[in-house]
Structure 1
């Protein structure tokens, strides 16, 4: 896809990967519709990009709200980036924990797709970006909700690509490990040992990348029409090992978890 002069909508654009995606798409010539529940962070992103010459519309938007997502795509968009995400409660969590993480990490993607896919089918073009995680290809130690919803986000992205690829709709799924964001910092700084376990499992598995590195690779994938973005290339080998021998992979993950616990 030629990104220049396209309209790109991004959820969770007030910080982290969302802000970096806004910067990268703007650098590629896109006009932006940015949403977040963090009004201060969203304004900072929008103001900086506008000062650099980008065309930006910023909207208070909760990814768990159908009305808010509808407002972001009230005018036709060419690319929708489902980036907003949350971490879950440690362990199995409770009913409210599952409701929240499913709403943001999965149903927000479905919500957006139900709005934009019919538009794109009529136009014969469009591109959906799902910001998932390596946890959606492997798993996440310590946080069942995150592991499950990121697996589901990957599965939904695959389904979109298979189902609507012949209609001119592209799909890109982004699956990094550790990224230097406020989200990662928050769990690394947690006083909860179970939360710290999950954070350590991420940062000790590979390098912690900048959000801009992930964003630039994502924009390149949209431009090239590629599905899977693996900012940490070692994830490909980990996934291959998992598929080759699932029992051996699970045993290895159990050993890794024990090593983190000391």
Structure 2
């Protein structure tokens, strides 16, 4: 299914910015969204996109974004649900951090899909692309809210795919490991673990996403090693958990992760 128009959330920096730039290079008309209005405007200016800043995780915010995008593009071929948040560390992650993670990493996708699917089902085509994480198919040591909600993002994407595939709706989940973004740089000592199999640039990820837009594969794995990790996890969950626990213990000894 060709993509002529697209919306990218969280497009002010990182993977979202790179996706908007790559889509624009390929001739796709783009609407970019970000909480940071200045950043969104800068990306729009450099790509010829329309900037619609705001909080795309809330019902009101996503409704405004969707309406503005339809008014500008007429039809939306693809929605890149890229905005995400990594909040809290360890079991003491605050209630507010859990709530923010749930809203941005899961409910933003649900709320966007509610608006997009009626038109896509009527047209018989549409593409919903979730920027999840390798944490969504594996886990993320030290970051329970991130790990759990990224699993939720992948699970919701799977549900959409199983429910609407025969209606012409393509659903994809981008699941990288370490990517050189502000989120990774805020990870502190965890950067080394996240970058174990190489920290890609956002442009690398955007380049790797372009090909799957033409073959419709569900899991987009910029780090191919994730496929083997996921296979090991599925093949023997107890063995995989024991291995991850050994890694947790090593990181505790190095004082990289808390032990609670």
TM-score by length of 1: 0.91
For residue 71 of structure 1, what is the aligned residue in structure 2? 64
1:224 aligns with 2:197: no
Shift of 1:223: 2.1
RMSD: 1.1
**Structure 2 contact 90–144 (Cα < 8 Å) conserved:** yes
Aligned to 1:115: 115
Deviation at 1:165, TM superposition (A): 0.4
Which residue is 1:202 aligned to?
194
CA distance in 2, matches of 1:209, 1:187: 15
Find runs of 4+ consecutive structure 1 residues off by over 3 angstroms: none
Residue of structure 1 equivalent to 2:102: 102
**Number of the residue aligned with 2:84:** 85
In 1, Cα distance between equivalents of 2:54 and 2:124: 27
Q: Deviations over 1:200-236 (max 9, x none)?
A: 3312x31000111111222221222121100101111
Deviations 1:78-123 (A, max 9, x none): 1001000010200131221111110000000001001101110011
Say which SS state the counterpart of residue 52 (structure 2) adopts. strand
Moved more, 151-160 or 87-96: 87-96
1:66 and 1:111 in contact (8 A); partners too: yes
User: Shift in Å at residue 2 of structure 1?
Assistant: 1.6
| Deviation of 1:153 (Å) | 0.4
In 1, Cα distance between the equivalents of 2:250 and 2:19? 35
- Contact 1:86–1:105 (CA under 8 A) maintained in structure 2: yes
1:62 aligns to 2:60 (yes or no): no
Counting matched residue pairs gives 246
SS state at 1:129 partner: strand
Spell out the pairing of 1:74-223 with structure 2 (5 A cutoff). 74=67, 75=70, 76-92=75-91, 93-188=93-188, 196=189, 198-203=190-195, 205-223=196-214
Question: Superposed, which structure 2 residues align to 1:27-66 within 5 Å?
Answer: 27-50=25-48, 56-66=49-59
What is the CA–CA distance in structure 1 between the aligned matches of 2:89 and 2:240, rounded to whole Å? 22
Q: TM-score, normalised by structure 2?
A: 0.92
**Deviation of the 1:199 alpha carbon:** 3.5
The DSSP-based 3-state class of the residue aligned with 1:179 is coil
Deviation at 1:174, TM superposition (A): 0.3
Contact 2:41 2:51 in 1 (8 A): yes
* Contact in 2 for aligned 1:173/1:227 (Cα 8 Å): yes
Unaligned runs of 5+ in 2: 255-260
